[in-house]
């Protein structure tokens, strides 16, 4: 599975690098910082798809529902994308098996562009994906 993820990351990097080559001076690469990615001034029509890489919040051994406030205790910043086995929480590597919740807030222009989509890589375990507090997909039983 790790090999598939690495190949996916390389393909995405190559594709976005080629796709954004003529716009890189106008649209700097945007990264998530402290659990927020600010796309409020991003020009989707000119620059196309964007990776949501960067610092996401991670809640070890907790399933966080969308109804819970953003200020939930026990969250740590982790680099995404990153393999589970490489995550370090409070100076300790995660056990090979476990669970947790990732959180990212995405700020969009107002009004938000129509036709936005979210593409997820292959995730080798069960998960639920929420968008604006609404479950949009589930794979297996997390």
**11-46: pLDDT as tens digits:** 333 233 333 333 443 445 689 999 999 999 998 888
Which DSSP letter does residue 126 get? -
Sign of the dihedral defined by the CA atoms of residues 90, 93, 97, 99, in that order: positive
**48-68: pLDDT as tens digits:** 889 999 999 999 998 888 877
Hey, what are 99's tokens? 């669970």
**105-138: pLDDT as tens digits:** 999 998 888 888 888 888 888 889 998 888 999 9
Say if residue 3's pLDDT is above 70.
no
In sequence order, the 6+-apart residues with CB closer than 8 A to the CB of 48 are: 16, 19, 20
Which DSSP letter does residue 84 get? G
In sequence order, the 6+-apart residues with CB closer than 8 A to the CB of 125 are: 140, 142
| DSSP per residue, 62-110 | -PPPTTS-TT-TTEEEEEES--GGG-EETTEEPPSS--EEEE-EEE--S
Q: For position 105, what pLDDT does the model report?
A: 92
């Amino acid at each position: 599975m790790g090999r598939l993820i690495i190949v996916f990351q390389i393909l995405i990097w190559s594709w976005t690098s080629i796709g954004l080559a003529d716009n890189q001076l106008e649209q700097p690469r945007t990264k998530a910082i402290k659990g927020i990615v600010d796309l409020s001034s991003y020009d989707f029509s000119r620059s196309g798809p964007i990776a949501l890489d960067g610092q996401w919040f991670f809640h070890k051994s907790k399933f966080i529902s969308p109804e819970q406030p953003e200020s939930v205790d026990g969250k740590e910043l982790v680099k995404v994308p990153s393999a589970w086995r490489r995550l370090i929480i409070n100076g300790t590597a995660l056990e090979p098996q476990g669970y947790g919740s990732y959180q990212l807030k995405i700020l969009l222009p107002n009004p938000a562009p129509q036709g936005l989509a979210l593409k997820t890589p292959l995730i080798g375990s069960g998960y639920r994906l929420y968008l604006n507090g609404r479950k949009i997909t589930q794979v297996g039983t997390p």
